[in-house]
Amino acid sequence: MFPLVATVCSAIFLAAPTKPMPQIPEFKFQKFTLANGLDVILHEDHSTPIVGVNIWYHVGSKNERPGRTGFAHLFEHMMFQGSKHYDKVYFGPIQSVGGRLNGSTAMDRTNYWETVPANYLELALWMESDRMGFLLPAMTQAKLDNQRSVVKNERRQSYENRPYGLVHETILAALYPPDHPYSWPTIGSMKDISDASREDIADFFRRYYHPANASLCIAGDFDPAEAKRLVEKYFGPIPAGPKVVHPKPWTPELKAETRIHITDRVGLARVYMVWPTPPQFTPEDAALDVLGHVLAGGKTSRLYRALVREKQIAQDVQANQDGQELTSEFAVVATIRAGHTIAEVEAAIAVEIDRIQTEPPMAEEMDRAINTFEARLVRSLESVSEFGGRADRLNLYNIYTGDPGHMAKDFGRYSCLDATTVTLMAKRFLGPKRVVVEVVPGSEVSIQPNPLVKAEAARKQMATKLPSPSERGSEGVLLPSTSEREAAGEGAGRESLPEGAAEPKFSLPPVKRATLSNGMQLLLVEKHELPVVNLHVVFPAGRVHDGQETPGLAEMTAAVWDEGTAERSAEQIASELGGMGASVSVSADWDMTSARLFSLKRHLPKALEIFADVLRKPSFPEQELHRQQINVLGRLTQIRNEPTILASLAATQLLYGYDHPYGHPPLGNPTIVKGLKSADLKRFYETHIRPEQAAVIAVGDIALDELKQQLEESLGTWKSASSAPAKPDFALPKLKPGRLVLIDKPNAAQSVIQLALVGTRRNTADFFPQNVMNMVFGGQFSSRLNMNLREQKGYTYGAHSAWDWRVNERGPFVATSSVQTAVTALALAEFLKELDGMVGAKPVEEKELEFCKKYVSRGYTAGFETPSQVATQLETLFAYKLPDDYFNTVVPGVRAVTTEDTMRVAKKYLALDRMVIIVVGDLAKIEPEMRKLPIGKDLSVLHFDGDFRLR
């Protein structure tokens, strides 16, 4: 286990602690700086044989200039397109060794990471250093044009084709002056993305992508001496670039309230209130974080209680401080329940803001906030790499504070706060000068007044005064030429990709078993790195047990389950758990229902007492059911404007039939939802939630004997209330659905394409060949489908496929993508071409097969890194009745797959005559071209009725 360290009070206006300070894990690390200015952080963790390479560049959209927005994000995409010594898409080498990789861009930084088996650390460092030092020689105009199309599709998917998608950039344009670095979104404007030249992008690289503007963290299972040698070898020769002078902190001062009215294709109205606030890591920033939690951090928070629970005028409400480097934003966001108005909700929010400005939070409100932040912080440290893991956090602190070990001081800002300070911050920053955005449903999109128009005009004028890239350096410093940078960095063993070192030994975690006196199975995997415990109680009951008369019953039962017991109200449950930083959730999927508890180890006995009360004695109060009914009805209204969900609903209905256990909408339909009673939920619970059929899955810092004793005391006497029910009829209907179905979504910026068929059972003998075949077709980034539609054609932000395994019957196989409206028919043709290739027209090559087998087999151990990952693996073990040694059969099973196996299962299971094709998009724009396709003669135009039946 990692040692614990006390948090530190440092801010001058914070109160001295009046009780023991929380202790958070202390992660030891080494930091050194190369001669070229690259900061390097090393953090060892030998619990799993994986290693993370994580690099942050201190550049984001704030470093862009008017007229050249979106460059930081566009450049992030270019960093995966190949470098001088590996001029191919970067995913290949890392995936071929079982690794994962990604990147992200924010306003203040851009990060990239790889998580690889421990013996491939050198490969990850080679790849990262080569694109840092040698990207430009491989950056062609063709690559730029392709990724420009991908980014435009990402913008369409995330902004234009998403409900409420235009709100974010509207708020930025209203909150900040047009010359403020935060006044445009990270993705940039369509025009600037279109206008970006190769020289613009190259200039951005020379200016910001160099060792002196970066922080590299290596975390995981490695030898520090060897890591230092490799870092020096590959990164040391790369020259430092020009000094980067970052914009200074700048919190805008609003002169008055700005109110904007947006009409959007949404199901429910929503209101956004935003105030400018001080930058991250300041004492004010921490106090505003706590303020957000007091206002809307859970069921006991002030806004949630007032708007959602008591007045029931809001579907949901959020309040949070978004801390950033130059300045921050505090936002309150509420979705309006049907039958109520924005004015009504806004008035109720005003009452609570006025109250927090005069009534300091109570002690229990402060405790809940601090304990929740502590638990959230500890949980984020479970992974060594990837987004939000330890390597990411060490780089975050190093880039913004210069100290990778700043975590104790950071958390100290919270643990030392007093309630008076929180009220002071509410008075100081949540005044009448703010930006308010009202979003209301409508068939057309409009923004009145539109701050984007004014901001774009101002930035266009500013852009005309900027020098071209060739005419300027960086703050007066001449940028090095590409040839100078290459010459300085050559000679570091870049002739070929490094081979892997000796394969590390790793034994998958032993599953310890026991049985409680009531028959509940207990499966435990001990993980002692962090002081946390995860408990999942899994029942073999789900949506398939709804019954034809009450679709949505399982989902509703799960939603109301933790909203009250015979001894505790919903607020008491939330308050007691929140006071410990613990959490309980209940969810239902098609075949299983899972109740989950997360707790810090020191709080487990009390948390388990509450968890057992929720499990054993739910009361399903009528008032809580009524509130959830309104929530679900609101969500069903929203779904009608979400094309991806509509495509999935259509596919499952066409494959299984509306009345089949796998065919009805997961949430049910409005008619049934309105009529549900508490007695219906109790009946489902008493009939299907049976402890003798359940398993307790535990992962964390606890031994078997200790846990079993606690579970016997809390759950051991729990018995089923009724006899076991008959099994539902899962027989698949003989349907002959239309081959091609179009669902109209007028004015959609993209079309959602989904191809689906009824697949196979999870326990099929072809399980491993099917999984490998899917990896070839669409199951990972380098798959045929994604490389075609995204990397070659630029039609989409991403395309993928998957087997959706089910417990009781054959689940669907689905391939899907969101594509630009103008290329819908062309994209569908490419889907069909790839399918045709998969079943024989383009046989799987041995090299292609080996790549996918290595990706799966070498990366398998990474799926056992965190407690939540291990718990999910154990849920699969229980749900499908797999043997305890199953985990040890996966790698041999995958490695045994042949090209003949792959082609055989593709021909056997991907039968085109059993496939339905759903397209959700703008009928007027896409139907004519779709009818010209060879399958166009089978096209049917359908719509959903009020109960989500296709007509």
Catalytic residues: 76
- Specify whether the CB–CB gap between 815 and 801 falls below 8 A: yes
Burial bucket for residue 425 (CB in 10 Å: 0-12, 13-18, 19+): buried
Q: Is residue 128 classed as helix, strand or coil in its secondary structure? A: helix
Q: Which residues contact 546 (CB under 8 A, 6 or more apart)?
A: 552, 553, 554, 661, 664, 668
127: nearest Cα among 153, 90, 152: 90
Which helix (H) or strand (E) segment is 849 a member of?
Answer: helix 846-858
- Tokens for 34? 């190369």
Q: Which residues contact 506 (CB under 8 A, 6 or more apart)?
A: 48, 49, 861
Question: How far apart are the C-alpha atoms of 143 and 149, rounded to whole Å?
Answer: 10
- Specify whether the CB–CB gap between 237 and 389 falls below 8 A: no
Whose tokens are 């078997």? That residue is 704
- Tokens for 832? 């069909």
Phi-psi region of 388 (alpha: psi -120 to 50; beta: other; left: phi over 0): left
379: nearest Cα among 604, 53, 598: 598
Find the farthest-apart pair of alpha carbons in the chain and give their distance in angstroms, rounded.
82
The DSSP code for 841 is I
Question: How far apart are the C-alpha atoms of 419 and 650, rounded to whole Å?
Answer: 51
Cα end-to-end span (Å), the chain: 58
Which helix (H) or strand (E) segment is 535 a member of?
Answer: strand 532-539
* String of DSSP letters for 67-109: T-TTHHHHHHHHTTS-BTTB-S-THHHHHHTT-EEEEEE-SS-
Q: Is residue 140 classed as helix, strand or coil in its secondary structure? A: coil
Radius of gyration for the alpha carbons in the chain, expressed in angstroms and rounded: 28
State the sign of the Cα–Cα–Cα–Cα dihedral 388, 392, 398, 399.
negative
**521 bridge partner residues:** 515, 695
Phi-psi region of 361 (alpha: psi -120 to 50; beta: other; left: phi over 0): beta
The amino acid at 174: A
Question: How far apart are the C-alpha atoms of 761 and 767, rounded to whole Å?
Answer: 8
Question: How far apart are the C-alpha atoms of 626 and 681, rounded to whole Å?
Answer: 12
CA atoms within 13 Å, Cβ hemisphere of 766: 17
